[in-house]
Amino acid sequence: MVTEEEIAELIKNYFPNCPICGSDSGYNISGFSKNYFQCNSCRAKWMSYDLIQKKVTDIALKKMMLYETPADGRGKSLLRKEHPVDLWKNLSEKRPELISPPQIEDKEEYVEPIFTAKMTDEQLFASILKNMKEVNKWERGSTLSGFTSLFDRSTIAERTTVRLLKVISEQNKIIIKQNELIYRALKKLLSSQREETSN
C-alpha cells in the first residue's frame, strides 16, 4: 500500500514548487485513497485519480484537478476541472493570468429602492399589486420553472426555502409600501385638521 510520505515525495518530484504560489514548502496528503494533496503554504488543494495505485512505482501523474483554491481565489478559472500535469508545470510563467488573484471591482452596485418620495399614491398602489402577484407566483412555485438549471441539484427542502424567502421578501415590500400610504394619508388628515382649527 502506498504511504502518505511516498505520495508527498512523488508530488514534490513533479512539483518542487507549488504551481500556484511557487512555494517549496511541500504538500499535505489526504483522502481515503491518499489522492488529495495540498500546498503547505497557500493551501491550494488538488486531486488526481492517477494517485490511486497499490505501488508508488505504478503511479504516473498525468491529470489533476484543482479541488480548492487558495484563500485569495487564485486559479478559480481552473477549479474542479481536470487538466494535464503539463499545464500545471511552470504555470506562473506560461499562463500567469490563470493564477492571478481575481480583480475586485470598486463599483457600488445600484440597489433599486422599494419606493421613492416622488412616487404618487397611485404608483405605490400599482407597485403593491405587482408585489402581490409575485407573492402568488412564488407561493405556488410556478416561478421556479424558469430556474430549472439552478435548482436541478437542489433538494425539495432547499427549493421550498428559496420560495418562502422570496415570498417573505415580497410581503415585506408590500407592508413597507402600505405603511407609506398610511403615513401619507395621516399626514393629509393632520394637515386638513390644522387648517380647520386655524380657520
Task: Say what the pLDDT of residue 65 is.
Answer: 93
In whole angstroms, what is the distance from residue 137 CA to residue 13 CA?
A: 58
Q: Are 23 and 86 in a shared domain?
A: yes
Q: Look at residue 149 in the predicted model and tell me its pLDDT.
A: 45
What's the pLDDT at 9? 93
Check whether residue 29 and residue 80 sit in a common domain. yes
What total of structural domains would you count in the chain? 2
Is residue 175's pLDDT more than 90? yes
Give residue 13's pLDDT band: very low, low, confident or very high (50, 70, 90).
very high
Residues 24 and 81 occupy one common structural domain: yes
With cut-offs at 50, 70 and 90, classify the pLDDT of residue 161: confident
Dump pLDDT digits (tens) for 40-85: 999 999 999 999 988 888 889 999 999 999 888 888 888 888 889 9
Residues 73 and 89: their CA atoms lie apart, in Å, by 19
pLDDT class of 109 with cuts at 50, 70, 90: low
Which residues have C-beta within 8 Å of that of residue 169, sequence separation ≥ 6?
Answer: none
Residues 85 and 8 in one domain: yes
What is the model's pLDDT at position 179?
93
Sole residue written with cell 490563470: 98
Q: Is the pLDDT of residue 121 over 50?
A: yes
**Which residues span the domain enclosing 80?**
4-99
95 shares its domain with 181:
no
Average pLDDT over residues 116-135: 89
CA dist., res. 5 & res. 29, Å (int): 8
Distance of alpha carbon 195 from alpha carbon 45, whole angstroms: 74
> What's the mean per-residue pLDDT of the chain?
84
Rounded distance, CA 43 to CA 105, Å?
A: 25
C-alpha grid cell, residue 25: 514548502
Let me know: does 42 contact 74? Beta carbons within 8 Å. Answer: yes
Task: Let me know whether 186 and 126 are in one domain.
Answer: yes
In this predicted structure, the answer to whether residue 15 has a pLDDT above a threshold of 90 is: yes
Closest C-alpha among 50, 98, 48 to residue 76: 98
Strand order in the sheet with 63-68: 27-30, 36-39, 45-47, 63-68, 82-84
Within a domain: 104:
no
Q: How far apart are CA 29 and CA 42, in angstroms?
A: 15
- CB distance 54 to 82 below 8 Å: no
Residues 69, 146: one domain?
no
Q: For residues 105 and 93, give the distance between their C-alpha atoms in angstroms, rounded to a whole number.
A: 26
Question: Does residue 92 lie within any of the structural domains?
Answer: yes
